[in-house]
Structure 1
């Protein structure tokens, strides 16, 4: 099984990147499932129902979220009705939506889990190390192939989470920092791991935002409007090859595709 995961989709530029990249990579890599993190897809902050369906129409199977999950008001009731849009599972149990799903295609099944880190992050959610286990137990009844999107700031927390789940899931991939790391590997227990996959959008930027205002903020300490950048479109992600029966990762290939 081949699974493509694309990092944080930032604004309109990021959505255009996904549109082009998914078609191209599905053809070139014979991909079975596509998962993207869409928490910055609506103007750089949150996601809307319309944008969710836009991404699904482009060939995405599952959209994950993060700490900006609730930035767009209309997403709250929508999450309860669209199972392919995942909010982090470690919110309180009565929160609308779900943090996991099993999707089917090409005679195969993939479990997808979304979790939110707590170090340097807001809001302070339940402990992901504890809340992830029940979700994994439920998914394993249907498939051994499980992808976890861990949306977190601290590299140490991400590495610890990957090691914690080694041998229990197929892959743990990090999102949130928008900068792809160079530590892709298969851990001893057979779990593919990457601290952060990067982002989809305009890379002639500061993590998707216009360069000038960000520099001015650092130089002057005065408030600035961080507009979205538009140049240097690139899709960041990772291609995972999984063994269907066991769920173990066979290969992990970082993706940086200029559009």
Structure 2
């Protein structure tokens, strides 16, 4: 599949970009500090640059849960927010590329606001995931962004429609309200309600059906991301994966096969450059 063909499908809306942490691999702050681009680098940033025990280093959600238990929920939320807001950094190349396409629907697992900056001059909907809330079962918030006022405001889920772009950030975001799904307890709650049908607005449940996905910078080696992707893309019509992994685990291969996802033999950097 040629890049130009993928771009054409993204523009027409049959292929949905689905972004993960790997898109930050080449991104550093203006002071030269690397943005987290995988589980290990996320753990190191959350823990002040220090490694944790092998059991906790297995996946950043475990490490985040341990830090939350020891230091409290406000600490892990503030630390996550600090990582992506304290120091300026350029928008990762994948978002620069998407700016040329302006997809009508995007799924972004990253916690920062890079995706939102692309649509700053365009009215759009933003859906952010939430967890461990007491009011109802829904694990999402729907916002409407008005380009003339440069502001988001909450709207009822019934207002969601395909007339303007839809940006879906299932794991939360730094804006418009700081909210992250990052620890084990967050993911367990979100996934439990997702399996009950409460992680996506009703409109999105049908709108996403029979769409294909272009997974960029996603690592499917851990159960958590596989489960999140499975719930968000239920009803998918196959897709493609671009990441920098040269060898896939058996779990990854099984997931890709069962979802009819083809791994393209190219690095993310080469893909973006058109190779």
- Report TM bin, short chain: 0.3 to 0.5
Question: TM-score, normalised to structure 2's length?
Answer: 0.36
Please identify which structure carries the higher helix content: 2
Question: TM-score, normalised to structure 1's length?
Answer: 0.38
Please identify which structure carries the higher strand content: 1
